[in-house]
Structure 1
């Protein structure tokens, strides 16, 4: 059973009020007020002068156990929202592996599920490790730069912040065991974000609700059994509405990072996990759900259920 061995994250100290980003994001004063007052997006994490590899290394450096288990890392996966993040022939993943002494590992990028790719990468890592040596590990990293307009804002929905995460995944482990994974891909939403965002917003909640329920069902649980939800940090109002429709207490959804970091691409789940651990919100045996949605070439709605 796939499990998380260790999780680390990096969030730059530099944060920019959303009002200061209005120019580069082409936001009107009304749209800025909408983001702050309605969606509760206040500050955005930015790391000026850094590159993608700087972000990834900053997160990996916080995995204290990695030097001792480096030889056990069989796979390295970079979960990305965007298929292309640097110009050819640059390869941040290859460079990162060389710097970390992970040249022996099979390294590749996963991009298929946009901002939900972080969950896909954990699932892929677990499937690969099921056929590896019992003590083998996979390193899953996530983190990107807000390098273009499309990589900085989701129209009428959210703003992207910069940061990174890193986690060690193993096939069998004593904690943070993956009980179930569900993903719903909606190819009919191809390019809907730019051509018909209203339709996407209308069906967004129903699709995410169905995926969450599918993951809970596959875990043999009910929503009442879920002690905590770690969301993707798109905005607060979307989760308030979703919880009302699900009949799930919004107080059990960790939303405190939304106004502090904005939406950190595929790293949201791991950022929220770190916050939950730091606040003592996860006790041994607790079941928690991680949810994410991604939009690009179609849309993907994903959810994972773990036992801490």
Structure 2
């Protein structure tokens, strides 16, 4: 049958970089919400160029990957993987237009988006299966992914991520000289398909199972690849946010340094491009080791979890924090809660009785931080601190004591 090999991976981001606070008004985010994205989710800057054309975003990485095509070979298929359903006018077939602009003749060009941000890994799997099904040697496919955060509705995933502009491309074949793909595993939890319509209870439920379910998919991909997690040199993840990855690291009981999270504060979440952006960053910094195994991991709204295990083969190629200040009055807390809260006791449960989700509780914590001058340490924060009014108050008092040197 032959193994899928990734012959060349390339990526591209616009030059324009903005801090998340610059997008606050554009996205309708309150100061405390931005504080949550910065402190707990680990976001800082991202690439965002509203004036850039979609094809100007997609073509640079595609052309560089295409340049690695051996002389005398041709591209049989071009697969455009994307997350957002509508990226261009209805009369524009993006995959066909990409093929035309790349000078590809008699190529089968089509798009995939069914797995949201997992679609790029899925497109590699589909393209390789089609090459194998034809049974001929020397066939190549080009996977291109990328999209623009062209609207606030697209750019903001509430309580989860702020999307950014980027593109990536991958030249692949069967039994080539590039990175070997050993496995690709996905799991879809369809009960969370209507992401923007989930109830607070469903949001909280999904947040609690996110880390364990992603850990299960990672371990399943590793097992299918015939190795153990200890044999993996590094996890190359999507850049959704740091909190989601802390949960996954905890579920795997793995050392944090085994996960490449350095691009989360630099690039934020770039749809289906994340794993390839992180791959090229590691490659350009000499951190991909010949013969080492890596796991490419991403999650798509819907909710699909995906992981792909590869072996890298080297070839010759060439802040300022949020502003602080007083909360002023109960109005901002009411904005967070979106209703008046009365009858609180020490035993009132934040999630069950007040029906808050985790993001609302974190936003309240940010308001308290700004109001009383404590410093919240995300690594020190545990779900037990947030269960009741009493445990929440105890946590705040403990952070005050640490700030005053009393702890």
Q: Please give the range of the TM-score, normalised by the shorter of the 2 chains.
A: over 0.9
Structure number with higher relative contact order (C-alpha < 8 Å, ≥ 6 residues apart) = 1
- Alpha-carbon distance between aligned partners in 1 of 2:130 and 2:220, rounded to the nearest angstrom: 23
- Alpha-carbon distance between aligned partners in 2 of 1:69 and 1:28, rounded to the nearest angstrom: 54
- Answer yes or no: is 1:292 the counterpart of 2:295: no
- Alpha-carbon distance between aligned partners in 2 of 1:158 and 1:24, rounded to the nearest angstrom: 15
- Alpha-carbon distance between aligned partners in 1 of 2:112 and 2:72, rounded to the nearest angstrom: 21
Counterpart pick for 2:147 among 144, 156, 165 = 144
Matches for 1:217-296 after TM superposition, within 5 Å: 217-295=223-301
Q: Give me the TM-score of the superposition, normalised by structure 2.
A: 0.72
**Native 8 Å contact 1:239 1:250 kept in 2:** no
Q: 1:256 to 1:70 in 2, by over 3 A?
A: farther
Instruction: Give the match for residue 112 of structure 1.
Output: 114
Secondary structure of the 1:150 match is: helix
- Alpha-carbon distance between aligned partners in 1 of 2:111 and 2:195, rounded to the nearest angstrom: 25
- Alpha-carbon distance between aligned partners in 2 of 1:239 and 1:25, rounded to the nearest angstrom: 24
- 1:264, CA displacement in angstroms? 0.7
Give CA deviations for 1:232-256 in whole Å, capped at 9, x if unaligned.
Answer: 0001122122112201121121111
Q: 1:70 to 1:244 in 2, by over 3 A?
A: farther
Instruction: Give the match for residue 168 of structure 2.
Output: 165
In the alignment, structure 1 segments of 5+ residues that lack a partner are none
Give CA deviations for 1:175-194 in whole Å, capped at 9, x if unaligned.
Answer: 31001110001111121443
- Answer yes or no: is 1:305 the counterpart of 2:309: yes
Counterpart pick for 2:25 among 23, 27, 41 = 23
Instruction: Give the match for residue 57 of structure 2.
Output: 55
Greater strand content = 1
Instruction: Give the match for residue 192 of structure 2.
Output: 189
For the aligned residue pairs, the C-alpha RMSD in angstroms reads: 1.5
Matches for 1:69-88 after TM superposition, within 5 Å: 69=71, 71-88=73-90
- Alpha-carbon distance between aligned partners in 1 of 2:75 and 2:173, rounded to the nearest angstrom: 9
- 1:70, CA displacement in angstroms? 8.1
**Native 8 Å contact 2:66 2:142 kept in 1:** no
**Native 8 Å contact 2:235 2:258 kept in 1:** yes
Q: 1:67 to 1:208 in 2, by over 3 A?
A: closer
- 1:67, CA displacement in angstroms? 6.7
- Answer yes or no: is 1:42 the counterpart of 2:55: no
Counterpart pick for 2:182 among 174, 179, 182 = 179
**Native 8 Å contact 1:144 1:163 kept in 2:** yes
**Native 8 Å contact 1:115 1:265 kept in 2:** yes
- Alpha-carbon distance between aligned partners in 2 of 1:179 and 1:38, rounded to the nearest angstrom: 34
Counterpart pick for 2:222 among 191, 216, 225 = 216
In the alignment, structure 2 segments of 5+ residues that lack a partner are 313-407
